[in-house]
Structure 1
Amino acid sequence: MGGVVERRSIDVVPDTERYGTAFSQFTLWLGANLQITAVVTGALAVVFGANAFWAVLGLLTGNLLGGAVMALHSAQGPRLGLPQMISSRAQFGVRGAVVPLALVIVMYIGFFASGSVLAGQAVGELTHLGETPGIILFAVVTAVAAAIGYRVVHALGRVAGVVCALAFVYLGARLLERAELSDLLADRAFDFPMFLLAVSLAASWQLAFGPYVADYSRYLPRSTSARATFWWTLGGSALGSQWSMTFGALAAAAAGEHFVGHEVSYVVGLGGAGATASFLYFVIALGKLTINVLNTYGGFMSLVTGVSGFRSQRALGPRGRAAYIAGIMVAGTAVALLGKDSFLTSFKDFLLFLLTAFTPWSAINLVDYYLIAKERYDLPALSDPDGRYGAWRGKALAVYAVGLAAQFPFLATHFYTGPLVEPLGGADISWLVGLAVPAALYWLLARGDTAHVPERTILGAPATAPPPQAPREQLGS
């Protein structure tokens, strides 16, 4: 891929432009997860009632389970050379994919906003401009980086991974100077609903990457091992998020009520004042910049995917790209400024809402890719509403609706609690239902309906055909 500014949008990346190794997924997702919002996510488990010992174990369980699902999506990138949500057209139809896409776009704006609140605090302190100008400045820098595209995203991941890892080692040591680890983990009373809350918080964090994770593996050579892509993605994402969340859970246990509402200042205060504090504010802003660029880039891809399904558009020029990214920036910044005063409670409910929305989509997409189509897609037909996938695929849309509805009796949030939550002791298991029910139902409905599945992957123009290679390695086999 020549030049710094990316030329591709939702079109297939030709084999001649592929580069890199699967290890790039480790560095990207490590850097994307070593950041302040992941710290707050880990802290939430303690803030809402879990003790630190079971919070850490619950977070680990959620990161591994959710991370495995997310990494299965990542392995699709090298095979298809497409952004993640384009492949949803094979299940939902070229236009029907707009249904999950609409929720994906809400997710990107929400994560952009939540990240901007925390990064804005850091940028405001670092520049002495205050929180609101800090949020706006951070949003503008994010939009510029996202407009440059794929290369700068991976470069940010590499830099943030190293810088933030060093900072978290230092902050961890400082935290343990204030509080004994044995004291923080002394309370080991098991509370099942609180344990499941920790699992759900971490799982939702990982599953929310699913709709865009293949965006960042699609430039890898088509011959890249599916297992390598899977394990490097899972390793980077699970390690980075668990590291951050464990720190957050321990910090919340040590700080108590002093943590809530003062997350950034508390973390920076662990390091000291003066130049050290300035450096830590920079680290927080850098970590958030990495993930917010991913959110903006993914939001741009999703908006183009949704609109192009109705316009038969396969590519986008620089001006159009800038307009989409600017729209996401404006919307995300507005939400950040409106919601910054009630951030912590709103963010917890937002995460659990995302889990409800994306587990059915994830289940349908993975079952179709690995078990029904078995990695065989007609890529040109993904842009043709009159092609083999059609405009709307009723079976997948119906299964998606059933998957959403099936979760509500088990859902526990601030604004809604399902009728089956209390009999389960207050535990929220909606995300498990949201994975299992649509996965089983879609497989039952789709396994006998494979007329639209090509005998092999159809790439389009012969110039993009892959060179001869050994038989493909399939994660689904």
Structure 2
Amino acid sequence: MDRAGRDEQTDARTKGSPGGVIERHSIDVVPDGERHGRAFSQFTLWLGANLQITAIVTGALAVVFGGDVVWSLVGLVAGNLLGGAVMALHSAQGPRLGLPQMIQSRAQFGVRGAAVPLFLVILMYIGFFASGSVLAGQATARLTHTGDTTGIIAFAVLTAVVAAVGYRVIHVVGRVASVVCALAFVFLGIRLLDRVDLGALLGDAHFSLPMFLLTMSLSASWQLAFGPYVADYSRYLPRTTSARATFWWTLSGSALGSQWSMTFGVLVAASAGERFFDDQVGYVVSLGGAGLAASLLYFVIALGKLTINVLNTYGGFISMVTGISGFRGRRTLSPRGRAAYIAVIMVTGTAMALLGKGSFLVSFKDFLLFLLTFFTPWSAINLVDYYLISRERYDIPALFDPHGRYGAWRADALIVYTVGVLAQLPFLATSFYAGPLVAPLGGADVSWIVGLAVPATLYRLLARSGRSANGTDAGMEFAATSGEVAACSTPVDR
């Protein structure tokens, strides 16, 4: 290697060093020398990301659409655990590969074919950014004594700044939010229990399979929607980090935080009714009192939303870079380019928030169920390929080469993905579309179960038919080392 090349590598290592505050990596591999942290960081990040107002609203939707308290809580637990387990399996990929989540999809869909799920993922990030900004904007406006529009815009700008700084600050915000929001939720929980007759709420239990499955879908979709970016926040962990530890800390933080918030939402919706539905943020804050207490709670709500909206913005930026680089071939990004991508996410999400703030509850429920249709097939394909076919080993240089091992377009994976999406339509139930099999099932929505099972089975069958899902001989194994990849021809026992 010539001196210029060595100087460039040295400069890159310096810029991306663990001691730096502003992140320099984007879709490139994080070298071993720059890895840092412990698996426990995943617990604090995902706990803080889920102790927030939108998760409360998600839990409340179970009651809004007809569920009782007892079976809504049971359904939410089941969905959080099942969806959270799938999400945590994606998280465990981060330390092993040192790559963002969606770039791994190139191993299944091709370097350019991955743009298909990426496009839908970007829509997800923008949608979550918008829905979160509606509620966070209300809190910010009341904290600063301005209007909702000003609050939404101010919150969006703050989100973009934190996302631009990057990984290290994101985890700091998560740690702070996990402590501050947990304390606030304990306080609010005590205040809520002083106002409601818990015995009466728990005594009114009437099981309905359609409602139970809808409730499961709400919480499962909440968790599954983290799948396309969860490894983005574990990829800096040392390669020696236990995959099991990463899995359990991620699952426990995300499931505990979301169930805590959603339980609060169920109890609030069941006891407050229209008072909560008319003003979600205002009612939650009113439980804590007025004056200084109210100001602190508005701050807590904004902080909780800041954590998750930063994740959405950062994930959107990474996904946009991944999609475009598949065609342009670039791995690195300048600070100016990084800011430009983040600005696109911020401006688009803010515009959606301002346009859709009047019909938030119904729109958000349909948005959650809509997400399931497109992300469960992707999740099934990615996990089957990574854990069962590739056995946690990818040819990382080939992920950036459309003429390499994985090719530009993987037609078989794209067909399986399409079949997985279409297979869900007969079982899908939203306000704008209900599949023909929804009524025979009593109105139950089981589309997400079909969306996991069908593509996982088809994709695995393709591998067993004699051709691996990444289009190469199934006996060839690739291992990641220090930001590069060494190929070895050790046969893998299938």
Q: State TM-score, norm by structure 1.
A: 0.96
Distance in 1, Cα, partners of 2:316 & 2:483: 30
Contact (CA 8 Å) 1:95, 1:306: kept in 2 or not? yes
How far apart are 1:459 and its partner, in Å? 3.7
- In the other structure, the counterpart of 1:181 is 198
Q: Deviations over 1:254-305 (max 9, x none)?
A: 1012211310001001001000000000000000000000000000000000
Alignment of 1:38-437 (within 5 A): 38-437=55-454
Contact (CA 8 Å) 1:13, 1:218: kept in 2 or not? yes
Distance in 2, Cα, partners of 1:412 & 1:200: 11
Distance in 1, Cα, partners of 2:315 & 2:323: 12
Distance in 2, Cα, partners of 1:34 & 1:437: 33
Distance in 2, Cα, partners of 1:453 & 1:235: 34
How far apart are 1:180 and its partner, in Å? 1.8
- Counterpart of 2:37 (choices 12, 17, 20) is 20
Partner SS state of residue 273, structure 2: helix
Distance in 2, Cα, partners of 1:8 & 1:277: 40
Contact (CA 8 Å) 2:425, 2:435: kept in 1 or not? yes
What are the ranges of 5 or more consecutive residues in structure 1 without an aligned counterpart? 467-476
> What code does the residue aligned with 2:449 have?
L
> What code does the residue aligned with 1:205 have?
W
Q: Is 1:443 the counterpart of 2:464 in the alignment? A: no
Partner SS state of residue 457, structure 1: strand
Distance in 2, Cα, partners of 1:415 & 1:261: 23
- In the other structure, the counterpart of 2:489 is none
Contact (CA 8 Å) 1:411, 1:429: kept in 2 or not? yes
How far apart are 1:376 and its partner, in Å? 1.2
Contact (CA 8 Å) 1:376, 1:454: kept in 2 or not? no
Distance in 1, Cα, partners of 2:475 & 2:407: 14
Question: Kindly tell me: are residues 213 and 454 of structure 1, through their superposed partners in 2, closer, same or farther at Cα, counting changes over 3 Å?
Answer: farther
Partner SS state of residue 333, structure 1: helix
Distance in 2, Cα, partners of 1:100 & 1:46: 32
Distance in 2, Cα, partners of 1:330 & 1:42: 28
Contact (CA 8 Å) 1:15, 1:464: kept in 2 or not? no
Contact (CA 8 Å) 1:113, 1:336: kept in 2 or not? yes
> What code does the residue aligned with 1:370 have?
Y
Distance in 1, Cα, partners of 2:119 & 2:172: 29
Contact (CA 8 Å) 1:16, 1:464: kept in 2 or not? no
Contact (CA 8 Å) 1:67, 1:237: kept in 2 or not? yes
What are the ranges of 5 or more consecutive residues in structure 2 without an aligned counterpart? 1-17, 487-493
> What code does the residue aligned with 2:407 have?
G
Partner SS state of residue 260, structure 1: helix
Distance in 2, Cα, partners of 1:352 & 1:232: 26
Distance in 2, Cα, partners of 1:255 & 1:329: 34
Q: Is 1:9 the counterpart of 2:9 in the alignment? A: no
Distance in 2, Cα, partners of 1:293 & 1:18: 21
Contact (CA 8 Å) 1:83, 1:301: kept in 2 or not? yes
Distance in 1, Cα, partners of 2:485 & 2:440: 56
> What code does the residue aligned with 1:139 have?
A
Contact (CA 8 Å) 1:421, 1:428: kept in 2 or not? yes
> What code does the residue aligned with 1:290 have?
T
Distance in 2, Cα, partners of 1:386 & 1:227: 34
Question: Kindly tell me: are residues 320 and 53 of structure 1, through their superposed partners in 2, closer, same or farther at Cα, counting changes over 3 Å?
Answer: same
Distance in 2, Cα, partners of 1:465 & 1:368: 18
> What code does the residue aligned with 1:449 have?
R
Contact (CA 8 Å) 2:113, 2:414: kept in 1 or not? yes
Distance in 2, Cα, partners of 1:130 & 1:159: 27
How far apart are 1:229 and its partner, in Å? 0.5
Work out the percentage of aligned pairs sharing the same amino acid: 76
Distance in 2, Cα, partners of 1:44 & 1:327: 30
How far apart are 1:449 and its partner, in Å? 1.2
Distance in 2, Cα, partners of 1:463 & 1:90: 17
How far apart are 1:454 and its partner, in Å? 7.3
Contact (CA 8 Å) 2:52, 2:304: kept in 1 or not? yes
- In the other structure, the counterpart of 2:478 is 457
How far apart are 1:452 and its partner, in Å? 5.2
How far apart are 1:391 and its partner, in Å? 0.2
How far apart are 1:456 and its partner, in Å? 3.6
Distance in 2, Cα, partners of 1:446 & 1:154: 38
How far apart are 1:464 and its partner, in Å? 5.1
> What code does the residue aligned with 1:333 have?
T
Partner SS state of residue 346, structure 2: helix
Distance in 2, Cα, partners of 1:21 & 1:456: 28
Q: Deviations over 1:352-378 (max 9, x none)?
A: 000111000000000000001111100
Contact (CA 8 Å) 2:156, 2:350: kept in 1 or not? yes
Q: Deviations over 1:336-362 (max 9, x none)?
A: 000000000000000000011100000
Q: Deviations over 1:361-418 (max 9, x none)?
A: 0000000000011111000100000000000001100000000000000000010000
- In the other structure, the counterpart of 1:471 is none
- In the other structure, the counterpart of 2:7 is none
Distance in 2, Cα, partners of 1:402 & 1:132: 41
